[in-house]
Amino acid sequence: MSANPALKKPHNSTVEINAQDIATHELNNRLKQAVAAGAERILLKNICGQRYIGTDINKPVEIKIEGTPGNDLGSFMNGPHIIVHGNAQDGCGNTMNEGEIVVHGHAGDITGLSARGGKIFIREGVGYRAGIHMKEYGDKKPSIVIGGTAQDFFGEYMAGGVMVLLGLNMRDDDYHRAKYVGTGMHGGVIYMRGKLEDYQLGREVGVAELEKTDLTVLANLVEQFAAHFDIDAQKILAHKFIKLFPLYHRPYGRLYAY
């Protein structure tokens, strides 16, 4: 019998951690210990609100989560591949640097906050301020693909990266409900299926048709999304998308100029 009943290694070499009644700090310590011991695949069972899962893990380990992780899932993450069979709460992918997060459900507010690399795929919708302060540097360019819709301030202060809003729960003639989309946006690009009224857009955002390069980027991300969730990518790509881009690189520069 294992000395630690919450941590065991099944015959398929996947390390399994039963998180029932385990606090955030203890769970993350056990997770880091498993990675340090050489685990390549880890299954976290009975997750219920524990925060910071994946933080400070710098190896391409696969972490499968059964349940609902708490805030800041994958925050400051640098390599792991996290799969959530459930919903994610606020701050999913906060300042992540590298790796991938796949959520088979919804995600909360500030998804991808200040992300500077890696990819986030959300099967359903997200809350407020998704992609806020996303950035890119050198060869690092974060991506977020959302299957459903988003709430207000989508892409707020976006400085880099790519966001895709698929609107799979919408008809072609439906309008998104989000307001202030791209407010303060000064970098990056948003590809969106579905319609927006002018009043829903931040003043710093332009709207355009997709060019050949855009179509290539969009197709690549949609194909990855579809592979994760067993969806037909070509059916998604058959719909019309619009491109949102920043009109200015310093939208508020005049406020601080003398």
Q: In this predicted model, what pLDDT tens digit does every residue of 37-46 receive, in sequence order?
A: 999 999 999 9
pLDDT at 45: 97
Whether residue 187 is predicted with pLDDT greater than 90 in this model: the reply is: yes
Contact between residue 15 and residue 42 where contact means Cβ atoms under 8 Å apart: yes
| Cα four-point dihedral sign 232, 237, 239, 245 | positive
Whole-number pLDDT of residue 254: 64
> What mean pLDDT is predicted for residues 22-43?
95
* Cβ atoms < 10 Å from Cβ of 127: 19
Residue 16, token pair as written in the block: 């399994």
The domain segmentation of the chain, as residue ranges, is 106-251
pLDDT of residue 8: 58
Q: Sign of dihedral through CA atoms 14, 15, 20, 24?
A: negative
Q: 63-119, pLDDT tens digit by residue?
A: 999 999 999 999 999 999 999 999 999 999 999 999 999 999 999 999 999 999 999
* Residues 118-164: tens digit of each pLDDT: 999 999 999 999 999 999 988 899 999 999 999 999 999 999 999 99
Span 106-251: which CATH code?
2.160.20.60
Give residues with Cβ within 8 angstroms of 41, minimum separation 6.
13, 14, 15, 61, 62, 64
Note the pLDDT of residue 248.
86
Residues in contact with 254: Cβ distance below 8 Å, sequence separation at least 6, in sequence order: none
